Structure formats: C-alpha cells, structure tokens
Amino acid sequence: MSACRMLPGILVTVVLSLCSSAAASSGEARAGDAAENSPVSLSQARQAAEWRDQQRLMALLEDKKALESALADAREAHARVSREDTALRIEEGARALNGARLESRQSDQDDSLAGLLSALSRHGTEVRNELGDDSWLALGDTPLPLRLEDARVLEQRQLEDVVDSLAALTRATGLASAMTLPVVEADGAVRQHRIVRLGDFAAFTPKMLLARSGESDNPALEPDTPHEISRWLSDYVDGNNRTLAVDPTRGRVVEALTRSPSLWQRFHQGGYVGYIVVGLGLIGLLVAALQYAYLLTISARVHRQQRTLPTLRAHNPLGRVLRRFARMDGQQTPEALEARLDEAILAEIPRLERGQPLVKLLAAIAPLLGLLGTVTGMIVTFQAITVFGTGDPQRMAGGISQALVTTVLGLITAVPLLFAQTALSSRSRALTQIIEGQASAALATRIEADAPEEAAP
C-alpha cells in the first residue's frame, strides 16, 4: 500500500520531465495564438499550461500502458543522447591528440628543414609559373612540381615528388619528343596535330613552327613560317635530314623573320603614290621596249640595204631617203639638192626617236613622285605623333614606311628608265649617222658626176 501511495508522486515527476518540452512548445504556440486573438496575461497563460499538464498527467495515471510507453521512449532518447555525447567526446579527444602530434612534429622540425621546405615551395612555384607562360616543356605529360605553399610540415613524399619532377623536366630539355596534341590553326579552329617538341627550344609540326597563343593554353600554328625552315622541318620529321634550325633566343629570331615583310608587302607599304610611281615606270619600260624592238628591226634592214645599195627598198629609212634623192631633178644646184636631202633625212628622224621624250620625262618624274610620297608619309607620321604621342613607335611605323618605300620606288623606277632612254638614244643616233653618211656620199657622187659636163663647154 505504501508503494502504491508513492507511485503517483514518482509518476508525476517522470511524466512532467518528459512532457515539459512538448507542453512548453504547445503552450507557447497556443499562447501565441491567444495573444494574436485576444489579450491574455502571462500568469493566466502559465495557469492554463499547468492545468493542461495536470489533465494530461491524470490521463496517463489512468492509462498504465501509455505511461509505460512514454517512460520507455524517454529512456531510449536518453540513451541515444548519451551515445552521441560519448562519440563527440571521443572525436574531440582524437582531434586534440592529432593537433598535439602535429604541433610536436612541427616543434621538432629544425630550421634547416623549414628552410628546405620554403626553398622547395618557392622554386616549385617559380618553375610552374615559368612553364605556364611560354615554355614548351608544359606540352605533353611532363610532371610539374607540387604546390607546397600550404604545407606546414615537410614530408618525405613531398620531397621525392619535387625532386622527381625537376629531374624529369631537366631530362626533357635534352630530348626530342613526338606527341599528338590540339593545335590552334590559322582560322581559329582547334584540331589534333602531330608535333615534335625539341626540348625547351622549339615545337613544330611537319610543316610549320608553333607559337604560344595568348588566348588559349594550346599552341598555335605560325602561318608565316619561312619556306626554308618549313622544308627543314619536313625533312627532319620524315628522317631524311638531321639538320634543324634552332632559335637560341626562344623564338625571338624566328618571330622577327616571320614578321619581316616580303617584297610584295613592302610594295604595298608605299600606298597610292607608290602605285602611281610603279605604274608610270611600267608604262615607260613598255614604250622603251617596243621602240627598242622597232630600232633593232630597222637597224637590221638598214644594214642589209647598205650591202645592196643599187636595189633601193622602201621598208627602211635609208632606202626611202636614197630613193627620194634619186627622183630629184638633176638640174638643181648643189645647195638645193643638199637642202632637199636634209629634208628627207629629217622626215625619217621622228620615227627613229619616237618614245624617247616620254621615257625621259618619266625617268625625271619618278624621283619627284617618290619625294612626294616621302613628304606625305612624314605628314602621316607627324599626325600620329600629334594624336598618340611618341610612346608607341608602331603608330608612326606606317607613315615612315610610306616615306621610305616611295623614295625607293621612285629611284628604282628612274634608274632603268634612264638606261632605257640612253639605249634608245644611242641606237637612233647610230642609225641617223648611217643615213646621213650614205646620203652625203650619194650627194657627193652626183655633184662629181655633174661637174665634168659643166666644164666641157
């Protein structure tokens, strides 16, 4: 009976401890709802919660199975929380032990090991940065040094990895390795190409050199690879020749060669003035060539006419002059015959000197047009300096190129035109002298033939 009398008090204590959180939360929710609907004091809310707890307790006392179930749930929750607390305490102890072990190892590490770790980290970072910029060793599967910036304790594995990667990179600098990698082509497309990496000096395909592309991690084809170098690359890859062009300046010389303009590109640098100069020069040379061919033909005909003077032909100037002289009236005075003969010779000279004035004029104009291009190029240069200043030489390169190229084009055009004009003048003068000599001989013969007839009476 005494145990039965004590049971309600024990059950009240256990059940109140089990249901306090649920009752408090439900009470707070209901109190919040009541506060929203009508003003209720805190004391009234507390009294209502206590009354609800008492009602629930009485219900549990009347239902023994519900009481036992609630007690079992409470014991199970308590055991679960105890287990979780024990696991957290064990994990915390392990972390503390690991931290203490690391601190002990770091404290045991002397200054030499710390300095070695710092040196390895610094050199490894420098090597990776250098290879990531413009080194050909970054191509392929050559291992790179590990990043040790976040390492606090130097481990044997880290030291071995750094040493092995540096040794592999050093060995790769003296090897020619063939591989297949994506390459950026001239049209911007990325395609697989068979390439050869020659240490850290160069990389190339069987036809073109490779260059570092600033917009992509993949190398790019160099479309302006010199023809001689391209032929060497093809022979080297095919195994036909062991000669290979190597740029010890890490691509600067090859880049300068590829950027050096060709003769056609230099011609275009002259601009419109250069086009005009070259056009006029071509016209002058064409006229000179046609006239010189005409003079060569006439010269051959005149020489044949000299060998057959009794048979005069009209297809050469000498034959036409002598035929005209033969048809003259023999009763004329020698002075009149000489004047008529000079007239016939002068009628043939324009054909022999045709085109020479134009060629001479173009030879004189070409340097003046080159000077005009020089002046216009300097004007462009000074305009660029006015707008952009002198900090960027490339802004002035266009005007300077035009100034120099037009001058060169003017001189190149004038020199052959002067030679052509001299050749034409010499050839025409030689033919004129032959015609004049033969005409003078014919006039002298006629005068001598007429002189005895006048002296006989």
Average pLDDT of the residues in 162-190: 78
What is the distance between the alpha carbons of residues 32 and 292, in angstroms, rounded to a whole number?
A: 119
DSSP tag of 289? H
DSSP tag of 144? P
What is the distance between the alpha carbons of residues 322 and 122, in angstroms, rounded to a whole number?
A: 102
> pTM of the full predicted structure?
0.51
Q: At what angle do helices 271-307 and 393-455 cross, to 10 degrees?
A: 20
- Taking only the tens place, the pLDDT of each residue in 292-314 is 999 999 888 888 888 887 777 77
Token pair of 356 as six digits? 């020479």
Cβ neighbour number for residue 135 with a 10 Å cutoff = 17
Tally of helices (H runs) and strands (E runs) in the chain: 13, 5
Show Cβ contacts of residue 204 under 8 Å, excluding neighbours closer than 6 positions. Answer: 195, 196, 198, 210, 233
Helix (H) or strand (E) holding 267: helix 263-269
* Residues pairing with 202 in the sheet: 198
Pick 134 or 344 by higher pLDDT: 344
Average pLDDT of the residues in 149-158: 67
What is the distance between the alpha carbons of residues 215 and 190, in angstroms, rounded to a whole number?
A: 12
> Out of 26-35, 60-69, 196-205, which region has the weakest mean confidence (pLDDT)?
26-35
Are 322 and 439 in contact by the 8 Å Cβ rule? The answer is yes
DSSP tag of 137? G
Instruction: Tell me the one-letter amino acid at 406.
Output: T
Show Cβ contacts of residue 115 under 8 Å, excluding neighbours closer than 6 positions. Answer: none
What is the distance between the alpha carbons of residues 380 and 397, in angstroms, rounded to a whole number?
A: 10
Q: Grade residue 245 by pLDDT with cuts at 50, 70 and 90.
A: low
DSSP tag of 184? E
- Taking only the tens place, the pLDDT of each residue in 94-116 is 888 888 887 776 666 555 666 77
187-199 per-residue burial string, b: 16 or more CB within 10 A, e: under 16 = eeeeeebebbbbb
- Taking only the tens place, the pLDDT of each residue in 359-407 is 999 999 998 988 888 888 788 777 777 777 766 666 666 667 777 888 8
Backbone angles phi, psi at 361, to 5 degrees: -65, -45
Q: Grade residue 4 by pLDDT with cuts at 50, 70 and 90.
A: very low
